[in-house]
Structure 1
């Protein structure tokens, strides 16, 4: 660890060494912890109790560091190397630092030029303040204010995915990273200005340049090269369910019919592999993210779902790309009558290794409540609560729609599109009805309406499934994806129907999708993730090649 050097960045590097820095709220800051391994040195970790800090601990341990936790202001003062994974929302972060009297010791430590690795809010809190949460004062070390990305057509916010760094001045700390893609996920950013130009190490382009790394201290030259721009993501999804023996397995079926066909009542739950092993395989093959969907009965009691929490803990030890978990992320009351808020439920998954949580049926109820109140926000929905505590980038809303055909748009109050795939009776118009409970029940709500409500309530990303295409292998419903992508300014993940690499290029060329997800074709090794990405590259679609 070099001394008198402070380096902070807005990204999370993902390298073949397996170092997994945090990537929640899209901000990384570091001294050269990232570059060393096997030294046996101690790192002091300031965990203020929000977000996925487990991934940071795993990365540091893999690099050979022992970890000392901050439990008092004196621990910050005595630290030789300080890591601050400030995951979450600005107000909660600064409020916690003030409550525990960490502000002055932290400011003094950084201003003294001592080795510091700030992750996520660990960068943003160094500025004078942030517009997040209505406006909050920061540490005031770096001139400038953190503001929200502006909404532009075709520029989803949050900024999520693999984008490139453009180095503003030489630094050995960005060795092999200048102009290479690193992972971002954030809605707020600091912008370069004459007042902070002495700090800015690199910027990234997203509707204009923003500060992706800052540094104080000695620096050395680097080589550059490689293409630039935000990459389209390829996500591997694992449907996880308990089999009849209680073991969690990765499964896949037709609209949640996941049992092998057998005598009387069907066979056992289809077993396509173990969750942790498959997640590790997909990381090695180049998946940009891994998503776990918990479809087992445990989801009715999420905080008692120890097997799924253990899957996350074990996966986060060796999978160094973002992990999303869905299934049961909502408020509930246990058998003893104790109430748990949605934030408490989500917090347990974050602590276990998740970077994002996915909300499904609960989001439909929230949207119906939202429209029923004249688009008024109650502040009580799962989306609003988790977004407020952890930031929009931590909340994914999963939409499960199915096509409803009509002969004429006047036949329904729902928004319709003219389709190139007519219905059985030649109907030329359709809308997409939202469903709940794994597609078993429909609601009088269109997918674009749910998308708009989710975005307004605070979701940072949409996972767009399609019941009609699930397991068919005939390609994504590009009409659906195009309609929803055009309706919102947050990223949309296309899901359901992938069967070939060409299906990925079709959805990226034909819609505004930021990512595409597949499950069965990867589980059964019908298509390799590397083949998908190579095809995307050949088609001119920005992608991260491993």
Structure 2
């Protein structure tokens, strides 16, 4: 008998990874095209990210809402992921007045975890809930990937549904449900490495967890700090896509000891797909692609980068972020494309998040000029409205501008150490936002940018720093912490990492949720596993480097 599973792709978010995971497990996918496909399904998987309202509207538009509800009421085999779990409830505070499927009593609520960041983003554990029947797919030892701003909470009415709970700050939320043949998870198994793919395998193959340890009942869980590998990708002089890296964004090799020599070639540190797979196998918690030269004219015509995402997602089961060209544009034929159109192509090719750089600066400037009034038409607003705030990362590329006194500028300033003074002995500086790959400065500081982008709906900040790039001298900790204190969304520290100790320093001295590095990983100067080992020995919670390779049947 053919191993088949039916996939309900309602049209939002990255479903390529779940497809690849299912295929790796030896199953053939049947896509839901109409109600009859739901009715005939032997097993049904419903993945997705995005806003509650958008998901419900898509189901109604495709005339799948009622057939799906009927399928669930009949207690037929079902696995829901993220929004696929939340839609099982009666409604969500994300979109009051929009009715869910109503299979599980209760509403989805927004996290109230101040001063912690929202979304709840990263790797966390699950705690088994005592019940008469054991959880079929989880043992309670798993560390899994979460990304959500809203969560289901335990009530007397839904208690019989709860399989596991997870802690984030003072909140304990429902991280998975199980009743009869219906299973759903708030975490993303397809983005949780080999551990998560095995959760899917147990559902598909009816292979329950054999041993459940009683110690894992009602055990508090902890969000882990993330270590992210970043790949700067561009076309080299031979027309091939390569991973490169430079100091202060100069990615060309110095030829004949002359930085102005005409024969300077783009530094080639490897092929993007191969490097991404290596980092996944070494335990990277996420992988970020920054396309640093393409997309300037026609983003959607850059099919090579889209293929990089497609090929990477076949073997890499952790979150993928893509940056470069997320903006509206008009192609050579005169057709207009929105930033949402561009983002959609990336998501369908395997990306989980998109990173917006220069366009975010323009969006922030426009918002400030309107005294903070949102119009709903920026790239940040459009993408977050459809895919959720967690899908939008803001890449900040600031450079320091020194001043003698805070009174010399209207921008937010920081005091530097005596060893870090400006060229004329200045002890204060502000962080000027740049565009066009750091080549052009704007009258906007990094604090204004991140606050504006959070208002517009961004869900995460990737905080670079030009003066630290390539120095291997450590992260700019005072600057990072000042940005963390300016927003309530997660911050990724970037620029300056040179040793494993730099990672523990930034986590110990700031509230950044993640730290990113590039060149030191590419050149194997600092193995990614050594960073993970150092963090664990330093008492900083992080996911262990899993190791191991994906095989045809996991």
Q: Is the TM value for this pair above 0.5? A: yes
Deviates further, 264-273 or 137-146: 264-273
Q: Is the 8 A contact 1:130 1:136 kept in 2?
A: yes
Q: Which residue of 2 aligns with 1:242?
A: 235
Query: Structure 1 470/525 Cα, relative in aligned 2: closer, same or farther at 3 Å?
Result: same
Matching of residue 515 in structure 1 with residue 529 in structure 2: no
Distance 1:211 1:172 in 2: 13
Residue 169 of structure 1, CA deviation: 2.6
Deviates further, 416-425 or 58-67: 416-425
Matching of residues 168-179 of structure 1 within 5 Å: 168-169=129-130, 171-176=134-139, 178-179=140-141
Residue 135 of structure 1, CA deviation: 4.5
Q: Which residue of 2 aligns with 1:64?
A: 26
1:335 aligned to 332, 340, 343, which one?
332
Q: Which residue of 1 aligns with 2:269?
A: 272
Matching of residue 228 in structure 1 with residue 191 in structure 2: no
Q: TM-score, normalised by structure 1?
A: 0.90
2:359 aligned to 358, 362, 367, which one?
362
Q: Is the 8 A contact 1:255 1:438 kept in 2?
A: no
Q: Which residue of 2 aligns with 1:300?
A: 297
Q: Which residue of 1 aligns with 2:426?
A: 427
Distance 2:518 2:291 in 1: 14
SS in 2 for 1:193: coil
Residue 151 of structure 1, CA deviation: 5.1
Distance 2:9 2:137 in 1: 25
Distance 1:164 1:40 in 2: 34
Q: Which residue of 2 aligns with 1:161?
A: 122
Matching of residue 186 in structure 1 with residue 148 in structure 2: yes
Q: Which residue of 2 aligns with 1:44?
A: 6
Q: Is the 8 A contact 1:181 1:228 kept in 2?
A: no
Distance 2:109 2:296 in 1: 37
Q: Deviation string for 1:356-413 (max 9, x for gaps)?
A: 0000000000001111100000111110000001000000000001112222111110
2:244 aligned to 238, 251, 255, which one?
251
Distance 2:541 2:297 in 1: 40
Matching of residues 101-112 of structure 1 within 5 Å: 101-112=63-74
1:395 aligned to 392, 396, 412, which one?
392
Matching of residue 377 in structure 1 with residue 367 in structure 2: no
Distance 2:2 2:430 in 1: 59
Distance 1:282 1:173 in 2: 31
SS in 2 for 1:287: coil
SS in 1 for 2:174: strand
Q: Is the 8 A contact 1:151 1:489 kept in 2?
A: no
Q: Which residue of 1 aligns with 2:112?
A: 150
Residue 179 of structure 1, CA deviation: 4.3
Q: Is the 8 A contact 1:191 1:211 kept in 2?
A: yes
Q: Deviation string for 1:51-84 (max 9, x for gaps)?
A: 1010010000000100001111111011000011
Q: TM-score, normalised by structure 2?
A: 0.89
Unaligned runs of 5+ in 1: 1-38
Residue 40 of structure 1, CA deviation: 4.7
Residue 262 of structure 1, CA deviation: 2.2
Residue 299 of structure 1, CA deviation: 4.2
Q: Which residue of 2 aligns with 1:125?
A: 87
Q: Is the 8 A contact 2:135 2:163 kept in 1?
A: no
SS in 2 for 1:91: helix
* CA-based RMSD: 1.6
Deviates further, 245-254 or 514-523: 245-254
Residue 150 of structure 1, CA deviation: 2.0
Distance 1:299 1:315 in 2: 23
Q: Which residue of 1 aligns with 2:533?
A: 534
Q: For this pair of structures, how many residues does the alignment match?
A: 506
Unaligned runs of 5+ in 2: 182-207, 546-554
